[in-house]
Structure 1
């Protein structure tokens, strides 16, 4: 079986260790976010928040994610401390989730979500640049493993948080769910710290020069002038609007419209993430062979249709099946988009390219929580999903117009 995996992916089994370790760390960052989304409906009830106010809390998270992009890419590209940056991200997020357990007002809750938002976008430039440099010929596969970790975090966290909510308050559930993240940070420190030290020795022996700040500013200017990269970021921004809106409003739809309890709610969200687990590695491997554009285009088009379909479903069992299909199409394209961005970016600027990509996603996603909250308060939660489907359709149109790679532009 191992030989078959090596043949399909093009990566030796023993060489895949760093990818799976990074995936575990990525899963921990999503574990934190998924915990927040699962407990949010209970926070809303306990604190007496409207949908708009609950959405505003998540907007704080996205705003802090956006601010983290200003410096995170520069830190990664100039210092090269990719592993240290990833570990720091996990520790900050785990501490913030622990302190959510002390939140009795929206203000303290908002402060902790600022730190969690910083965690999310501090992680990605370091992790994606690390994987892109380690697996330059197999980026689609390596980044699909990275996304696989996210899906596992998104899958297991709702089950854990939902079970804890059956026994504890939302404060206790959040604090207890933070404990595994500290353990993951320790594992990455021990296992990947050695990898980074070897890389630093190699750079020292080869007399390779670290990027200067002037070099960095020059490269950054090139990224902002790159129409292909900007187009890709805008497409990813509209897709992210839909994804983050679904993560926020699907739990509210299930609880308030379908009257799901905490355990069934956790099972439904888990089904959605299981779909992503199945689709991610397949999409990533296919994109290495068939190209990024066709895989992304198919995933976005299917997602647009399924988001609309959610509002027309009658029955818990059918809804859970559709959520699994939605997760497959929605999450499978994430690593392909990230690989597409890395394909377009010089190696020395990959951290900043990830910051630009995720910064755009955070900027677009800031609109969704408050805008969706206003729609939900005025017309009901189901109407939010029509707006999310529209955002995904726009992303599909952008993808159709983007070239697959720079050679396509030259050929045309």
Structure 2
């Protein structure tokens, strides 16, 4: 495998066909199930930030503790991505089992976190939740990348759109549930739908033939991973992704706490506003994927990162005071809502383009490994974001964390603009 990577070189494309050709119907089943499952995964994951302020208040956690908890979750997810990529590339026949267990594991972790009040136990258990989440991406995206080579950006973006639906729905669902139940009850109850949906995903995907894996030893995998990391252009993509992920993790952690504590919004309204942060991505994500396939990844990513950085800056200065629109009160103010919506155009969709950019630079037999590398490095670098932001919030203010986010993303946009990092993309007529 390492020799294959070396032959591809820095500017190579992962253009080799899938080892086993799927029928059109099988590809559609794979795509639909991957998109739907991704939405379910993100719905459960996106509920967590809305529940977090309630946990913080009920258990008396500080902003610094919340930063530690969030950073630990990202760090654990980053570490888990590497073996997840190895498993997905080497044991492709386990794809259905891995994806089903990923969903079921989230519910199990929610349940365990809901029956304890210890900060450190909650930190450990919710970190294991992210480990389960990390199992999804390498197996799902790697398989899509191998089976939709000429429309990779679009397929991965469509998969990401499913995640956007989940990210938009999760906060609303959590906010509504908090109107009737405690955060502990919601945590404990999550195990039921998770086990059912995990079984359904396994049952459907077991009928879709998996790609034929090459029996790669862990030693070969490690050598191949080191070779990937010697690719200068791929390292730049990982750098951009890390800056973006650090800011995203910080926003996920402290925006709901800011809305709940400083703006004094209800849990339901916090859930609605977090949904607005992801809702625009339903339209922008497939559009960005399509445009990146036609115009190039850099032409889409660089202005998108710059725009997101500007909107983070604006979040740091909007007053957050309620005002009227057409005679109706807008909690937190029109300016706050408009800024959240604008940031939502780029907040979630860009990860799909980072993934497509990395996939362009890697050979076909390590697509899952490449996906795990992107998510792994992003979360390992990004985990420092909430940790630093928690100290910033306790020292200065919650709004100051938004300036920190802007700095990370604008720096990544600048480096992207002044460097050459794109790989080749395949231009086949159709998949």
* TM > 0.5: yes
- Residues in 1 aligned to 2:188 and 2:59: alpha-carbon distance in whole angstroms: 18
Partner of 2:373: 356
Aligned to 1:333: 350
Question: What is aligned with 1:3?
Answer: none
Give the whole-Å Cα distance in 2 for the aligned partners of 1:209 and 1:257: 54
Match of 1:8 in 2: none
Q: TM-score w.r.t. structure 2 length?
A: 0.86
Which residue in 2 is equivalent to 1:294? 299
1:66: Cα distance to partner?
2.0
- What does residue 33 of structure 2 align with? 21
Mapping 1:8-157, distance limit 5 Å:
15-80=27-92, 81-157=94-170
> Residue 199 of structure 1 aligns with which residue?
210
CA offset digits 1:329-377 (Å, max 9, x no partner): 2222221111111111111111211121111111122212221111111
Q: Partners in 1 of 2:25 and 2:305 — Cα distance?
A: 31
Moved beyond 4 Å, runs of 4+: 12-15
Find the counterpart in structure 1 of residue 19 from structure 2.
Answer: none
Partners of 1:342 and 1:350 within 8 A in 2? yes
- The root-mean-square deviation of aligned C-alpha atoms, in Å, is 2.0
> Does 2:265 match 1:248?
no
Judging changes above 3 Å, is the alpha-carbon distance between structure 1 residues 381 and 66 closer, same or farther for their aligned structure 2 residues?
A: same
Aligned residue in 1 for 2:417? 400
Kept in 2: contact 1:160–1:177 (CA 8 A) = no
Name the CA distance, whole Å, in 1 between partners of 2:244 and 2:46.
Answer: 18
User: Are 2:277 and 1:272 equivalent residues in the alignment?
Assistant: yes
Query: Residue 186 of structure 2: which of 149, 167, 173 is its match?
Result: 173
Q: Could you report, residue by residue, the CA deviation over 1:120-169 in whole angstroms, capped at 9, with x for unpaired residues? A: 22211111101101211111111111111111111111111111111111
Deviation at 1:266, TM superposition (A): 0.9
Compute the displacement of 1:285 (Å).
Answer: 1.0
1:338–1:53 distance in 2 versus 1, CA, 3 Å: same
Unaligned regions of 5+ residues in structure 2, if any? 1-23, 323-331, 426-431
1:69 positional shift? 2.3
Measured after TM superposition, the shift of residue 259 of structure 1 is 0.8
1:258 to 263, 271, 295: 263
- Normalized per residue, which structure has more helix? 1
TM-score normalised to structure 1 length: 0.89
Is the 8 Å Cα contact of residues 35 and 177 (structure 1) preserved in structure 2? no
- Residue 199 of structure 1: SS of its match in structure 2? coil
Match of 1:370 in 2: 387
Unaligned residue ranges in structure 1 (runs of 5+): 1-11
Superposed CA deviations along residues 230-261 of structure 1, whole A, max 9, x for unmatched, are 11111100010111111111101111111110
2:393 is the counterpart of 1:388: no
Write the distance in 2 (CA, Å) between the matches of 1:403 and 1:42.
Answer: 45
Bigger relative CO (Cα 8 Å, ≥ 6 apart)? 2
The 3 A distance-change label for structure 1 pair 278 and 288 is: same
Q: For residue 236 of structure 2, what is the aligned residue in structure 1?
A: 231
How many residue pairs were aligned?
390
